[in-house]
Each structure stands twice: as structure tokens, then as C-alpha cells.
Structure 1
Amino acid sequence: MRKTSPFLIASLVLAVCLMLSAVIGSVSIDLTSFFTIIGSVLSGQTVPLTLQPLVTILFSLRFPRTVLIALTGAALAGSGAAYQGLFRNPLADPYLIGVASGAGLGAVMAMTISWPQQISSMLFIPLASFAGALITVWTAYFLAKSGNSLPSTNLILAGVAVSSFATALTSYLMLYSNRELHRALAWLMGGASMSGWDPVTAMLPYTVIGLGILLTCGYALNVLQFGEEQAQQLGMDVKRIRLLVIFAATLTAAAAVSFSGIIGFVGLIVPHLIRMLWGSDYRKLIPLSILGGAAFLLAADIIARRIAAPQEVPVGIITALTGAPFFLFVLRRSRRQNVW
């Protein structure tokens, strides 16, 4: 009997998580009603009158949130897998070179300005967050560059320094902006704070472009695992590949953070689990991480909605509670094996 395709398994898990995310919430929707509504809409028939209120809930609230969370998980896990391959380190994640701290600084700066609520929520805060993430990563890149070379160690150290500086500025702004303190804390803990299809529409192009580029870099990341010198001897333009991966992974992660806040550990946990289950071939690892990241964050979001119902826990807390022990497990395992 042939082994079941990992892509089929990941796709089925994602499909289940998508369905559960749509039906679970403050107003629960039973599966019979769910499939009746979906079948009626797809076939062009009129939805039964008794189910009309659920149509609004599904298509105006649940589906946009579900898609946004899935895109965020896919973006974080896909970029995390790419960073782990680029730096040849299983502990690397999308926030390694300052994406999260820069996005947080941009968002908090936007919150301190008295913009109209609609403008600040749907336009200015995500744009400021996105700009902050890109500026932070560019600064780390500029500081790490040595002549025409870009040593990975320099980039990581520069990212740590820039992240610390951005985090300090964020803390200062929050300390003297009591009016927006609660809002800033909620955003920094992560979650789908914006409703409707507008955030999905705004985030989708960046995510598709970034992940699309990363999917084409699987073979190059495989070669880089033998070392940069070996990759150059095989004819690979290591500098170009490194810049391409950094650009695509940063673009993707920045888009995710801009619209969903800072959600940690997704880019660390998912690629490592995929690697343990199905190997380190980045031609498979990156697409499987994209599927697995979407499923993982959807599952975490479902738990966040139900664990303290009717109140909602920020999904970043759930991923942190899961990710911190897993991080220690990965650290101990990598030290024991002393291999990458």
C-alpha cells in the first residue's frame, strides 16, 4: 500500500480546521446548517428563511476572520521555514531580524495619533505597522552589510540590536500614551482584531507574492544546507538568493503582523514539526509549512475563542503557551544531537 501523500494529509487537516473555524463561535452553527447554506449558495438556490441570519454571520464575520487567520498562519510558517533554511538554524523564526519589533513600533506610533477610528483601524495602523517592519529589517540589513558581503551572523546580531531599540521605543510610547495602552497591548498580543473582507483584500497580494517567491527557492535552500562555499562552487549566486529569501520572507511576515498583530512561535513550531515528520527537503518543507501553519493558527484561534467564552483570549497567548515548551524541546534536542 502506497504511503499517504503528506500534501493530502496537510490539506485534509487544513480543510477540517477551516470548517471548524467557520462554525465555532459565540453563535454556534451546526454542520447540517453549515452545509445547507454552502450548498444553497454554490448552487444558486435561495437559502432557507430560518437560516438567513446565519448567512450574514458566516459571510460577513466568520469567513473573513477564518481566511485572515489562515493567511497569517501560512505567512508566518512559510517565512519561518525559509529563515530556518537560510540561516541553517532550526531555532530561526520570521521575527529574527526585527520584523515583529518594527511592526509593533509602527502600530503603536499610529495609535498615539488621534485619527478617526475608521481610518486608524482599517488603513493607518496596518500601513504604519508594515512600514515599521520593512524599515527595521532594512536598517538591520544596512548595519550588517560588510562591503559586498552579508554575513549571516552579522545580520542576526544587527537584527537583535535593532529589535531591542524598536522595543524600547515601543515601551516608551506605551508608557506615555495611557489613552491607547489597552488597545496597543491587545494588538501586540495578536489576533484578528479587524473584521470584514477589507483586511483580507489588503493582505492577500503581499502574502501571495512573498510565498510565491519562497516556493521557488526550495532547491536553492537545499543547496545552501551544504554551506555557502559549496553552493558557490555549484554555480549558485548565494548573494542573490539570500537577498531574495530575506525580501520575500520579510514581506510575507510583515504583512501578517500588520493585520493580525504579533503572533509568536508559529514560524518556529510548524516548520520544525513538518521537518520531523516528512524530512528537510525545502521543495516540500515550504509548501507543507504553509498548509500546516494555516491549520495550526486556525486551531489556536478556535481554542482562543472557546477557552474563556464568551470572552476571547488573544491567539498570541495560545501560541506562546504552546510554543515556549516546544522551543525548549527543540533547543535541548539540537544540543543533544549537535547537528542541524
Structure 2
Amino acid sequence: MNKKWISIVTVIILLVVVAFVSATTGSIKVSSIELVQGLISGTNKSVNIIKDLRLPRIIVSMFVGAALAVSGVLLQAVMRNPLADAGVIGISSGAGFISLLFVSIFPTLFFWLPVFGFLGGAFACFLVYSLSWNSGLSPLRIILVGIAINATFTGLGQSFNYRGSYAAGSVNQATTSIFTMKTWNDVEVMVVYGSIGLILSLLLCSWCNMLSLQDKSARNLGLNVTKARLLISIVAVLLSAVATAIGGLIAFVGLLVPHIARMLVGSDHKVLIPFSALAGALLILTADTLGRTILAPTEIPASIIMTVIGGPFLIFMLRRSGRIHGN
């Protein structure tokens, strides 16, 4: 068994183990056997509480991690830039702000929250591309403009905290990066929209491989480069938008996971995309579980844990980016 398959099997096993640990650890503790038996019989009161409170949180965190990681893979393929990430270049903050804005105006349209997020993410992505264009797209210019867009939308989103109304507080809590009080309605929204994005990303993996070539070589192979970049960007925005709308603003997942995944399974997107989805799910579930249990009953948001990890990693990537992409 080569390194690629060992990595895939290891991530799958770790994901299952962490999911069981997350489900059985906390104020209510049960064994793995009791958990399985209780889910089948439905007669164990402790397991029923876990089913209603912890399982939705676990499923949402895994889908959020998978969506953010795959979004990062797609954006990096489009931009040929290892620093591209929905959180870094402002797509997530744009999605978060528009989600806050629309849900505060139309609170009954919760199921359409990812659609609102997609509109915000698409608008942020358009701003980044248009403001970065200067006789071509420079990877460094994209990152710098993206950081500015990210700061702008983050500030606009935080302004909701100072409106002083109950509705604003409720909306802000609904899109926070703490997965507390996630329900099966959240699971339904996240699974429906997230699955659509993940399936579409798998269908686009061959285009991602061709975009790693020079544009002229890709065109010679019959690829419409502009169309491919546009469609892949749309799917990336959809994934980051639904993850932000349901899971809140979590940075660096789409930066950290694809880089590590390439070292483990290579750059073939037919393997890289599904592996990144599994690794992203494992990363966010682990971060959420640690945040929930390490200082219990106080919770540390998964976004804070990811910022602590991702900040130094971004510095490391910035130092290496010149050698990797020679810009």
C-alpha cells in the first residue's frame, strides 16, 4: 500500500474515531457501545439528548470543514496560487455579511441562507478579480486586494454587534463560528447545499488538472480556460458561502488543508479533492471538539483555534510562495 492510500485510510479512521469521541465526550458521557445501541433502540435518554444536541453539531462541523477545504482547492486551481483561500481573500466575509443582512431583514427565509451567502461571496469574488486586474492577474495583487476586501466585509459584519437590538443579536449568534445549538434543520441545509457543491467539484476535477498547465497548453487540449475558471470559481464560492452561512467565519481551512493534502496524496485533483474534503472535515471536527472540551464548560470557537494554527502557517506559505510560483 503506497503513501497515498495509507493517508486516505488513516484520515478516514481518524475521522470516525474523532466523531465517536466528540459524540461520547462532554457533560453527558456514554460509551461507544451505549451510543450505538441507544441510537438503534431510541430508549436511552442520554443518547437521545446526544442525538438532538451533539450529532447535528458533529455533522455540521464535518460538512463545513469539507466545504471550506474543497473551496480552497478549487480557488488555488483557478488562480494557480497556494495562498488562495475563501477566508483570506474575502469571499467568506462577504458571504457572512450578506447572510447577516438578508436574514435580519427576512428572518423566515433561513433555508435560503446559503443562497444569500452565495450572492455575497460572488460579489466579494467579483470585487477581488476586478480590482486585481491590471493587464492580467498577479497572485500577489489578488492576495493584497483580497485582504482589503476581507477587512471591509468583516468590519461591516461586526457593525451588527452595535445595533443593540435583539434581532441583531439573534442573527449574529446564528452565524457565529461556535457550533453550539445547531439543529437538524441546520444539518438539512448544510447537507443539501454542501453535497451539491462537493459533487460539482468532483465533476470539475479534470478541468482543475488542466488549469495547472499554462493557458496555451490547456487550450490546445480543448479546454475553454475562461469558462472553466468561471464555473470552478462559482462552485468554490457556493461551498465557502454555505459553510460560512451555517458555520460562521472560519479562516485558513482552505489554505492549510490543500497544502498538506498535496504533500500526502499529490496534485491530481481526482484524489486531492475527496481527500481534502475528508481532511477538512477531520480538522474542523477536531477543532470544535477541542474547543468544546478543553476548558469545559467554557467553549472556544473553532475559528479561534484555526486562527492560532493558520496564522503561522500563512506566514510560512508567504515565505515559500516566491519559490513555488516564482512571482
Name the TM-score class by shorter chain.
Answer: 0.7 to 0.9
Please report how far the alpha carbon of residue 58 of structure 1 lies from its aligned counterpart in structure 2 after TM superposition. Answer: 2.6
The Cα offsets for residues 50-104 of structure 1, whole Å up to 9 and x where unpaired, read as: xx11231232111111110000000000111111121111111123553222123
Which amino acid counterpart does residue 209 of structure 2 have in structure 1? Answer: N
| Cα 1:233–1:156 shift into 2, 3 Å | farther
Question: What's the counterpart of residue 36 of structure 1?
Answer: 37
Give the alignment partner of residue 79 of structure 1, picking from 63, 71, 75: 71
Which amino acid counterpart does residue 94 of structure 2 have in structure 1? Answer: G
Please report how far the alpha carbon of residue 338 of structure 1 lies from its aligned counterpart in structure 2 after TM superposition. Answer: 6.0
Question: What's the counterpart of residue 8 of structure 2?
Answer: 7
Q: TM-score scaled by structure 1?
A: 0.82
Which amino acid counterpart does residue 22 of structure 1 have in structure 2? Answer: A
Q: Secondary structure in 1 aligned to 2:93?
A: helix
Question: What's the counterpart of residue 288 of structure 1?
Answer: 275
Is residue 161–residue 169 contact of structure 2 (8 Å, CA) maintained in 1? no
| Cα 1:336–1:238 shift into 2, 3 Å | closer
Question: What's the counterpart of residue 240 of structure 1?
Answer: 227
Question: What's the counterpart of residue 261 of structure 1?
Answer: 248
Please report how far the alpha carbon of residue 9 of structure 1 lies from its aligned counterpart in structure 2 after TM superposition. Answer: 2.3
Q: Determine the C-alpha separation between the residues in 2 that align with 1:223 and 1:128.
A: 31
RMSD (Å), alpha carbons? 3.2
Please report how far the alpha carbon of residue 31 of structure 1 lies from its aligned counterpart in structure 2 after TM superposition. Answer: 2.4
| Cα 1:228–1:127 shift into 2, 3 Å | closer
Q: Secondary structure in 2 aligned to 1:92?
A: coil
Q: Determine the C-alpha separation between the residues in 1 that align with 2:194 and 2:287.
A: 20
Question: What's the counterpart of residue 307 of structure 1?
Answer: 294
Give the alignment partner of residue 86 of structure 2, picking from 80, 94, 102: 94
Q: Determine the C-alpha separation between the residues in 2 that align with 1:80 and 1:253.
A: 8
Which amino acid counterpart does residue 240 of structure 1 have in structure 2? Answer: K
Which amino acid counterpart does residue 10 of structure 1 have in structure 2? Answer: V
Please report how far the alpha carbon of residue 108 of structure 1 lies from its aligned counterpart in structure 2 after TM superposition. Answer: 3.9
Is residue 132–residue 142 contact of structure 2 (8 Å, CA) maintained in 1? yes
Q: Which has the larger radius of gyration?
A: 1
Please report how far the alpha carbon of residue 124 of structure 1 lies from its aligned counterpart in structure 2 after TM superposition. Answer: 7.8
Give the alignment partner of residue 167 of structure 1, picking from 154, 159, 176: 154
Matched residues, percent identical?
A: 34
Q: Secondary structure in 1 aligned to 2:311?
A: helix
Please report how far the alpha carbon of residue 183 of structure 1 lies from its aligned counterpart in structure 2 after TM superposition. Answer: 6.0
Which amino acid counterpart does residue 195 of structure 1 have in structure 2? Answer: K
Q: How many residues align?
A: 325
Question: What's the counterpart of residue 18 of structure 1?
Answer: 19
Q: Determine the C-alpha separation between the residues in 1 that align with 2:234 and 2:138.
A: 14
Moved more, 188-197 or 300-309: 188-197
Q: Determine the C-alpha separation between the residues in 2 that align with 1:137 and 1:2.
A: 38
Q: Determine the C-alpha separation between the residues in 1 that align with 2:222 and 2:179.
A: 44
Give the alignment partner of residue 103 of structure 1, picking from 84, 92, 95: 95
Q: Determine the C-alpha separation between the residues in 2 that align with 1:143 and 1:328.
A: 24
Q: Determine the C-alpha separation between the residues in 1 that align with 2:270 and 2:106.
A: 47
Please report how far the alpha carbon of residue 315 of structure 1 lies from its aligned counterpart in structure 2 after TM superposition. Answer: 1.0
Is residue 80–residue 268 contact of structure 1 (8 Å, CA) maintained in 2? yes
The Cα offsets for residues 197-224 of structure 1, whole Å up to 9 and x where unpaired, read as: 1011112222111111111222222221
Is residue 191–residue 263 contact of structure 1 (8 Å, CA) maintained in 2? no
Is residue 211–residue 249 contact of structure 1 (8 Å, CA) maintained in 2? no
Q: Determine the C-alpha separation between the residues in 2 that align with 1:74 and 1:216.
A: 16
Which amino acid counterpart does residue 249 of structure 1 have in structure 2? Answer: A
Is residue 174–residue 180 contact of structure 1 (8 Å, CA) maintained in 2? no
| Cα 1:336–1:151 shift into 2, 3 Å | closer
| Cα 1:182–1:69 shift into 2, 3 Å | same
Q: Determine the C-alpha separation between the residues in 2 that align with 1:314 and 1:181.
A: 20
Q: Determine the C-alpha separation between the residues in 2 that align with 1:123 and 1:215.
A: 25
| Cα 1:92–1:210 shift into 2, 3 Å | same
Question: What's the counterpart of residue 192 of structure 1?
Answer: 179
Say whether residues 1:217 and 2:204 are aligned partners. Answer: yes
The unaligned stretches of length 5 or more in structure 2 are none
Moved more, 251-260 or 323-332: 323-332
Q: Secondary structure in 1 aligned to 2:182?
A: coil
After the TM superposition, which residues 137-148 of structure 1 pair with which residues of structure 2 at under 5 Å, given as runs? Answer: 137-140=125-128
The unaligned stretches of length 5 or more in structure 1 are none
The Cα offsets for residues 1-40 of structure 1, whole Å up to 9 and x where unpaired, read as: 66544332222122112212211222122223223324xx
Is residue 111–residue 180 contact of structure 1 (8 Å, CA) maintained in 2? no
